[in-house]
Structure 1
């Protein structure tokens, strides 16, 4: 019985060690459908992170730069952040338009809104950060993986 209690205590302690630290800031994510209402309350620039599930650079950015405490604080304080999977199949309503998924081949395709926001010089690359003003106009686009240092530099220049 004593071994059972020790094992239970060990499992309990291990579980608490593995739980996420609640003191870390969480990145606030919004949907396009919310932007008009949010802009009526407080005008802010919008940052759209356009990515795919298969893009290793997108995943790397999600696991590094987008988990950086300073970046999260800056995004939460001064921007509306939207996470957009370019291959999103649901219809996205934004600025009185409906953006839908368009197949580009067998089991592949792109949402029209992702295509609109991630096209730079006629090319789409992932990841893309698209900065919009409070009216929804593109003011800056940055393609490819960004380190936290580069991301912070861009946020300071765009803010």
Structure 2
């Protein structure tokens, strides 16, 4: 009876490969890296301490394209990295009910407007053009730079983020 024996050369070669192999570049997955989403109130407090451009995601709970953005575009590693480095990112539900402060005004939820009512902050930020998802870019003084409606793929959103970050 013959025994099958692996050559010691093969075992040494495999050991060397594992011993000297360089670790692969670590890829950020959606579970590891996330956009640092703030509430409107948190962003306003942060702006007082350290003014920075804002990215406001105006959404609703029933919006399918909003959910798709959350599941795909907002989990893209490049989008996450650029967003966190250059903007205060805010998620704002256009149908939320708590009062919000904006530029010295108290804005409230209004029933009977839109499908289920709408918050005045969403109306102001979107310049009365309600559609979801919509994204609003604000400068360091909270002035509107751009309103960008509609679903965006990661590459389209990243290009837009880069262009808005460069605006003075």
TM-score by length of 1: 0.78
Q: Give the alignment's Cα RMSD to 1 decimal.
A: 2.1
2:37 to 23, 29, 49: 29
Cα deviation, 1:60-104, whole Å, max 9, x if unaligned, reads 111111111111111111100000000001111233221110012
* Range with greater deviation from structure 2 (27-36 or 66-75): 27-36
1:91 to 89, 92, 99: 99
Mapped pair 1:67 → 2:67 = no
- Where does residue 16 of structure 2 map in the other structure? none
Q: Normalized per residue, which structure has more helix?
A: 1
Q: Distance in 2 between matches of 1:42 and 1:69?
A: 25
- The total of aligned residue pairs comes to 137
Q: Normalized per residue, which structure has more strand?
A: 1
- Asked which structure has the greater CA Rg, the reply is 2
* Contact 1:45-1:134 within 8 A present in 2 as well: yes
- Where does residue 141 of structure 1 map in the other structure? 147
Name stretches of at least 5 consecutive residues in structure 1 with no aligned partner.
Answer: 1-20
Cα deviation, 1:134-153, whole Å, max 9, x if unaligned, reads 10100011101001110000
In structure 2, do the counterparts of structure 1 residues 55 and 156 end up closer, same or farther at CA, with 3 Å as the change threshold?
same
* Range with greater deviation from structure 2 (87-96 or 132-141): 87-96
Q: Distance in 2 between matches of 1:71 and 1:97?
A: 32
In structure 2, do the counterparts of structure 1 residues 56 and 38 end up closer, same or farther at CA, with 3 Å as the change threshold?
same
In structure 2, do the counterparts of structure 1 residues 22 and 51 end up closer, same or farther at CA, with 3 Å as the change threshold?
closer
- Where does residue 132 of structure 2 map in the other structure? 126
**Which SS does the other structure have where 2:111 is aligned?**
strand
Name stretches of at least 5 consecutive residues in structure 2 with no aligned partner.
Answer: 1-28
In structure 2, do the counterparts of structure 1 residues 22 and 110 end up closer, same or farther at CA, with 3 Å as the change threshold?
closer
TM-score by length of 2: 0.74
- List structure 1 segments (4+ residues) > 6 angstroms apart after TM superposition: none
